[in-house]
């Protein structure tokens, strides 16, 4: 009890500080997103009027009437402050209002429809990228003379600066056209009943392979480079040198003395990278026509649907903030110095 | 070891992927019974209400395959053949002063749930939308309709608030129109604006089969009672296409790949390079609008250089003419469409009936048309541009380029304005401009510069055209920068927030000479002050008393009156004289068809239907297609 007191105090302070940061990040991020989307020059009412008048015969006398009816229907009256306050009220109730480009479908239901696809894609891609990147990076940092690891390092570093859309396009051509063995569009086979069946799961995996591979190839380089660099420094630390001199098994040194220490900053980086990964997912989903939140966001931007854009942005801000917060909570379990404050 | 394991894993994934090629492309549906069309990525895939805001613009097959209304015009057609009485038994009948329109409906047409279509549905469509502002056609009905009477189950009488000789066009499909609502369905729902209409009750030959909740595809199935529809009544045999699949096949590159893999029969639009790739690598299994180069089918839309007449000096016709004469249209055609452009000197798209109604009859007038440059008179029209462009593309396309001038004009247009830099300079001088070195100065002494707005990647051909024109103007001393508007393009055009732009401000019926489709909105009554949003179509805010007189005269003659063509020519001559915008070309779309499974697609030689899958008129193509007897066997 005596020994745990200062530890618990430090941990409590740490928790309170993180809670405060968590809510501040969400408040500022969402407010900024509201401001930016509302300052967008694209007017959803004009977009709808355009859709309703572009294709068929239009009576020019009716356009004013059409415009005023839509403004009322979309609830776009009031000052920006009124809309801001009303927006926060709705956010707290988990409601982003109706989509203006898919009126009157609620934004939340559009997001909830797309979210499982993005979560599935990102989770899979992130786990593979992080694990593989760190494993290869750690091995390359520890076994510095291994030729295969050197080659793999060169390969992932060469891919690192290439934008996601270039890698995606190359994969699309390679596996969709030159060797057409993988689907290049969509989330699953057409007309296949969703469910926990072998056919459907296989279809999901096949359709997700190229988008996930794109994200993996784009993301793996940064984990590889940073991990290799960390491990290269740690292997010269005293405790590693003493362990080697003491005859400790090299695989034990690698896993217990080196990799474990090097993982700490990588874990923080994992949370912080979520935002970047989401950015890459937007392009990848668009390229492979993957029905996730990224594609939804692009549709919203092009249609001037700021309810939808704001909804997606808010959800991504909250998701990243929650992920960072969870990592922050896990951190003391890995690094006792955090518990001690 | 690790790499061996990784390699083994990669092989396992590859092995898992291999069977994909052997799998049914569409689960449970034989490929040779399905026509696959490029569709959109739907945000709200479960929504099928065509009458809610924006619902009338769906391109997922809902309005193309399940909706119907009174009349249809084939945008690619000519003469009487372009007109179809759909739900109406005959053409509209107006009273003498165009304040009343009477429609007789066909009999024996049923909704897909077995309820008979009657005049009550038509009346309900109008009354319900007037009662619910915000519904798709609520505003035009509110402005026009005093009341609707149904004297018997096959007759509808529209009493109008004011004379309107074109009221029937609200019910005439060119791309879409006011679709008839199923009264028996909508009268049971609380709010027609929030009703999803899922599944939709169909009034046409196909019904909803299934859809992707993620919005990537919708499958429609031929109705068992397809004969009991307006389109079915015109058929002697059952349509061979049993399933129509609208699928989002991704970006333009993916569309090309999917068609070459025979997974996409109908493409709406791709870039010229994609088209040329298909023509080179998959010519044996592809059909086009033209049998060879230039492949593309022209939409009845007129890409032009638009000028904002509320911004000086673009309100000066001499300046506009000078800018037109600085353009070398051959470079624009080659740079934008790589030569596959159908040029237009007149201010109406060179498609459908416009060729025989306007372009060909006006050639002599165009050849003799004179422009006074201030120092001399020139005849700027060049009827040989088709031959000149043919010479430019012949090295690449060889025998696909004919030598017959008539064929060349059908491919590349009747003619355009000769680039005449000396005349352009004289016109600018006439307008009070001076030259300082190689820079033209405005009459107030400031440099004449132009911001030329383009939409950007959404329409790459027009963005390229804008870039080339900007280069040509810059070379002649008018510094021109390209302003990429992206998704704000339409809004900036409507709000007058531009100087010059590459876009269209003229669209027509295509299959009918009446120009009211766009011309009605050109009346000066509808011109808005700078900063306010202009009603669609007169994006240049061109205002002219002579134009008003033409529009007012057109209102007083019937849709099919021969005077319509005379008035159309008056407008076209006025537009040449004033050059309110510089017409460039038809909006050519590259819409190749895969013939592996289906044949009999429309073409320039047999333009029985529209080509692009977004056009509702496509339904006439779908029921006319024939199964390819050499198609791979169903798996």
B355, B215: one domain: no
Contact B43 A308 (CB under 8 A): yes
Q: Are residues B175 and B306 in the same domain?
A: no
Contact B501, B490 (CB under 8 A): no
Distance CA B566, CA B578 (A): 18
| CA separation for the pair B192, B496 (Å, rounded) | 35
| Helices (H), ranges, B191-326 | 252-260, 272-281, 317-325
| Within-domain flag for B196 | no
pLDDT interval class at B21 (50, 70, 90):
very low
Closest-CA residue of A relative to B51 is A52
**pLDDT class of B30 with cuts at 50, 70, 90:** very high
Average pLDDT for residues B105-124, to the nearest whole number? 98
- What CATH number did the domain enclosing B154 receive? 3.90.76.10
Residues B318 and B286 in one domain: no
Given a cut of 60, whether residue B372 has pLDDT beyond it is: yes
Contact A54 B57 (CB under 8 A): yes
- Residues of A within 8 A of B46 (CB-CB) are 105
Is B622 domain-assigned?
yes
Extract the tokens encoding B567: 């008035």
Q: Which residues pair with B270 in a beta bridge?
A: B590
Contact A189/B at CB under 8 A: yes
For residue A8, what pLDDT band results from cuts at 50, 70 and 90?
low
Specify whether the CB–CB gap between B96 and B556 falls below 8 A: no
- Both B241 and B344 in one domain: the answer is no
A195–B contact, CB cutoff 8 A: no
HEC string of B329-353?
Answer: HHHHHHHHHCCCCCECCCCCCCCCC
Q: What is the pLDDT of residues B231-245, one digit of tens each?
A: 999 999 999 999 999
pLDDT, residue B610, reads 80
**A82, pLDDT greater than 90:** no
Nearest to B143 among A48, A65, A184 (CB): A65
Residue B530 forms part of a structural domain = no
Q: Estimate the crossing angle of helix A44-53 against helix A63-74, to 10 degrees.
A: 140
How many independent structural domains does chain B possess?
A: 3
- For residues B292 and B304, membership in a common domain is answered with no
Mean pLDDT of chain A: 83
Nearest Cβ partner of B176 from A56, A185, A187? A56
Q: Which domain holds residue B493?
A: 298-509+580-588
Interface of A with B in 218-247 (CB under 8 A): none
- Per the CB < 8 Å rule, is B142 touching A62? yes
Per the domain annotation, does B461 fall within a domain? Answer: yes
Asked if B250 and B338 sit in the same domain, the reply is: no
Window A:4-63, CB contacts with B under 8 Å:
41-43, 46-63
Q: State the average pLDDT over residues A257-265.
A: 81
pLDDT at B180 over 90: yes
Tell me which DSSP letter residue A98 carries.
Answer: B
* Closest chain B residue to the Cα of A43, Cα to Cα: B491
- Which one has a higher pLDDT value, A74 or B16? A74
Rounded mean pLDDT of A183-204? 90
Q: How distant, in Å, are the alpha carbons of A170, A201, A212, A278, A288 from that of A164? A: 10, 26, 11, 12, 11
Give yes or no: residues B272 and B139 share one domain.
no
B407 in the same domain as B305? yes
Mean pLDDT of A112-127: 88
| Per-residue tokens: A250 | 């090299």
For the cut 70, the answer to whether the pLDDT of residue B4 exceeds it is no
Does residue B567 form part of some domain?
no
Q: What per-residue confidence (pLDDT) applies to B19?
A: 47
CATH of the domain at B212: 3.40.190.10
Two tokens at B466?
């804008």
Report the half-sphere exposure of A270 (CA within 13 A, side-chain side).
Answer: 24
* Yes or no, beta carbons of B170 and A190 under 8 Å apart: no
Domain definitions of chain A by residue range: 1-101+304-341, 113-302
**Shortest distance, CA B58 to any CA of chain A (angstroms):** 9
Quote the tokens at residue B513: 């000479």
Answer yes or no: do B488 and B584 share one domain.
yes
Q: Beta strand pairing status for B416-417 and B381-382?
A: antiparallel
Of the candidate ranges A29-33, B8-12, B470-474, the one whose mean pLDDT is the lowest: B8-12
pLDDT band, residue B108 (cuts 50/70/90): very high
**Best residue of A43, A179, A191, A213 to probe chain B, by most B CBs closer than 10 Å:** A191
Please give the pLDDT value at position B1: 46
Residue B27 lies in a domain: no
Please check whether residue B163 is in contact with residue B97, taking contact to mean a CB–CB distance below 8 angstroms.
yes
**Phi, psi dihedral angles at A335 (to 5 degrees):** -115, 105
Closest CA to A300 of A156, A96, A155: A96
Question: Is A88's pLDDT higher than 60?
Answer: yes
Which of A172, A182, A302 is nearest residue B17 as measured by Cβ atoms? A182
Count of C-beta atoms within a 10 Å radius of residue B151: 10
| Token reading at B49 | 């209400």
Instruction: Answer yes or no: are the C-beta atoms of B626 and B598 closer than 8 Å.
Output: yes
* B54 closest CB neighbour out of A52, A185, A302: A52
User: Which tens digit of pLDDT belongs to each residue from B593-604?
Assistant: 999 999 999 999
Percent of chain B residues topping a pLDDT of 70: 95
Largest CA distance in chain B: 91
Q: Which of A139-143, B305-309, B519-523 has the lowest mean pLDDT?
A: A139-143
Q: Which residues of A touch B52 (CB under 8 A)?
A: 103-104
State the burial class of residue B152 (Cβ atoms within 10 Å of its Cβ: 0-12, 13-18, 19+). exposed
Q: For testing the chain B interface, which of A49, A54, A57 should be mutated: the one with the most B CBs within 10 Å? A: A57
Cβ-based contacts under 8 A for chains A and B:
241
Residues in chain A: 341
Neighbours of B9 (CB within 10 A): 10
From A41, A73, A299, residue closest to B43, measured CB to CB: A299
CATH topology of domain A113-302: MetI-like fold (1.10.3720)
Residues B338 and B360 in one domain: yes
- List phi, psi (to 5°) of B301: -140, 145
pLDDT tens-digit map of B45-92: 889 999 987 666 678 999 999 999 999 999 988 888 899 999 999 999
Range with lowest mean pLDDT among A197-201, B32-36, B483-487, B528-532: B528-532
Q: Is pLDDT of B7 > 80?
A: no
Spatial separation of the C-alpha atoms in residues B412 and B339, rounded to whole Å: 8
End-to-end CA distance of chain A: 17
A297-311, B13-27, B230-244, B549-563: range with lowest mean pLDDT: B13-27
Pairwise CA distance, residues B467 & B335, whole Å: 9
Residue B371 lies in a domain: yes
Q: Would the CB atoms of A58 and B536 count as touching at under 8 Å?
A: yes
Q: What span, in angstroms and rounded, lies between the C-alpha atoms of A62 and A55?
A: 15
Q: Are residues B323 and B466 in the same domain?
A: yes
Q: What is the pLDDT of residue B575?
A: 98
Q: Are A53 and A64 in contact (CB under 8 A)?
A: no
- The residue with tokens 């011109």 is B527
Residues B364, B501, single domain; the answer is yes
Residue B548 placed within a domain? no
pLDDT at A339: 59
Confidence of residue B320 (pLDDT cuts 50, 70, 90): very high
């Amino acid at each position: 009890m005596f020994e745990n007191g200062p530890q618990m105090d430090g941990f409590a302070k740490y928790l309170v500080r993180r809670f405060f940061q968590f809510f501040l990040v969400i408040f500022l991020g969402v407010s900024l997103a509201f401001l930016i989307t509302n300052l967008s020059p694209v007017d959803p009412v004009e977009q709808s009027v355009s859709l309703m008048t572009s294709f068929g015969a239009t009576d020019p006398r009716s356009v004013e009437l059409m415009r005023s009816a839509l403004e009322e229907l979309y609830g776009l009256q009031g000052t920006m402050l009124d809309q801001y306050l009303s927006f926060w009220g709705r956010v707290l109730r988990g409601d982003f209002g109706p989509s203006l480009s898919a009126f009157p479908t609620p934004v939340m239901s559009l997001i909830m429809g797309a979210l499982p696809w993005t979560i599935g894609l990102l989770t899979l891609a992130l786990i593979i990228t992080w694990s593989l990147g760190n494993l290869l990076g750690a091995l390359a940092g520890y076994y510095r003379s291994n030729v295969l690891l050197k080659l793999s390092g060169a390969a992932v570093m060469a891919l690192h600066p290439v934008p996601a859309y270039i890698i995606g396009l190359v994969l699309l051509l390679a596996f969709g056209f030159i060797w057409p063995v993988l689907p290049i569009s969509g989330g699953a086979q057409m007309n296949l009943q969703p469910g926990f069946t072998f056919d459907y799961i296989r279809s999901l995996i096949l359709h997700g392979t190229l988008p996930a591979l794109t994200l993996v190839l784009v993301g793996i380089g940064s984990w590889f480079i940073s991990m290799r660099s960390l491990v290269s420094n740690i292997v010269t630390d005293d405790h590693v040198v003493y362990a080697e001199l003491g005859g400790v098994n090299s695989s034990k040194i690698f896993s217990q003395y080196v990799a474990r220490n090097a993982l700490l900053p990588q874990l923080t980086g994992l949370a912080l990278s979520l935002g970047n990964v989401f950015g890459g997912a937007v392009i990848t989903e668009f390229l492979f026509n993957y029905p996730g939140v990224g594609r939804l966001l692009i549709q919203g931007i092009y249609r001037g649907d700021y309810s939808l854009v704001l909804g997606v942005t808010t959800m991504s801000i909250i998701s990243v903030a929650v992920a960072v917060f969870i990592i922050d909570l896990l951190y003391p379990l890995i690094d006792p110095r955090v518990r001690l404050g | 070891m690790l790499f061996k394991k990784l390699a083994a894993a990669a092989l396992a994934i590859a092995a898992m992927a291999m069977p994909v090629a052997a799998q049914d492309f569409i689960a449970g549906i034989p490929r040779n019974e399905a026509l696959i069309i490029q569709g959109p990525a739907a945000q709200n895939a479960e929504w099928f209400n065509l009458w809610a805001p924006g619902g009338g613009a769906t391109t997922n097959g809902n309005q193309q395959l399940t909706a119907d209304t009174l009349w249809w015009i084939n945008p690619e057609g000519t003469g009487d053949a372009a007109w179809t009485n759909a739900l109406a038994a005959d053409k509209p009948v107006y009273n003498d002063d165009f304040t009343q329109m009477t429609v007789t409906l066909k009999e024996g047409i049923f909704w897909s749930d077995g309820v008979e279509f009657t005049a009550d549905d038509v009346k309900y469509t109008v009354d319900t939308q007037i009662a619910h502002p915000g519904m798709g056609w609520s505003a035009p009905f509110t402005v026009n309709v005093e009341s609707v009477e149904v004297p018997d189950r096959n007759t509808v009488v529209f009493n109008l608030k004011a004379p309107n000789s074109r009221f029937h066009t609200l019910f005439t499909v060119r791309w879409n129109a006011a679709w008839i609502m199923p009264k028996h369905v909508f009268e049971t729902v609380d709010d027609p604006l929030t009703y999803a209409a899922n599944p939709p009750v169909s009034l046409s030959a196909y019904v909803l089969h299934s859809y992707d909740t993620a919005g990537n595809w919708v499958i429609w199935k031929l109705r068992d009672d397809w004969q009991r529809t307006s389109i079915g009544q015109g058929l002697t045999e059952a349509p061979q296409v049993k399933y129509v699949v609208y699928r989002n096949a991704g970006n333009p590159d993916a569309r090309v790949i999917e068609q070459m893999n025979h997974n996409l029969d109908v493409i709406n639009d791709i870039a010229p390079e994609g088209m040329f790739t298909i023509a080179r690598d998959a010519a044996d299994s592809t059909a086009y609008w033209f049998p060879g180069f230039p492949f593309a089918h022209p939409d009845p839309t007129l890409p032009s250089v638009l000028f904002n007449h509320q911004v000086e000096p673009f309100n000066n016709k001499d300046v506009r003419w000078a800018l037109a004469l600085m353009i070398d249209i051959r470079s624009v055609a080659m740079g934008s469409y790589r030569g596959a452009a159908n040029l237009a000197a007149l201010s109406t798209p060179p498609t459908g009936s416009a060729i025989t109604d306007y372009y060909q009859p006006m050639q002599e007038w165009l050849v003799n048309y004179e422009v006074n440059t201030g120092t001399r008179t020139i005849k700027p029209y060049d009827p040989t541009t088709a031959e000149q462009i043919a010479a430019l593309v012949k090295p690449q396309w060889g025998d696909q380029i004919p030598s017959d001038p008539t064929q060349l004009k059908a491919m590349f247009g009747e003619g355009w304005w000769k680039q005449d830099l000396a005349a352009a300079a004289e016109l600018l001088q006439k307008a009070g401009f001076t030259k300082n070195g190689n820079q033209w100065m405005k009459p107030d002494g400031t440099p004449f510069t132009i911001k030329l707005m383009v939409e950007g990647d959404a329409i790459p051909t027009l963005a390229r055209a804008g870039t080339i024109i900007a280069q040509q103007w810059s070379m002649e001393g008018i510094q021109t920068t390209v302003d990429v508007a992206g998704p704000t393009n339409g809004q900036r055009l409507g709000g007058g927030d531009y100087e010059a732009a590459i876009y269209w401000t003229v669209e027509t019926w295509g299959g009918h000479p009446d120009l009211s489709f766009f011309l009605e909105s050109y009346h000066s009554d509808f011109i808005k002050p700078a900063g306010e949003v202009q009603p669609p179509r007169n994006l240049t805010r061109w205002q002219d008393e002579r134009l008003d007189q033409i529009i007012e005269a057109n209102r007083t003659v019937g849709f099919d009156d021969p005077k319509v063509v005379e008035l159309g020519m008056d407008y076209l001559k006025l537009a040449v004289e004033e050059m309110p915008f510089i017409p460039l070309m038809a909006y050519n779309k590259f819409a190749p068809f895969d013939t592996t499974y289906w044949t009999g697609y429309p073409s320039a030689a047999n333009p029985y239907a529209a080509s692009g899958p977004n056009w509702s008129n496509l339904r006439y193509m779908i029921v006319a297609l024939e199964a390819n007897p050499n198609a791979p066997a169903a798996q």
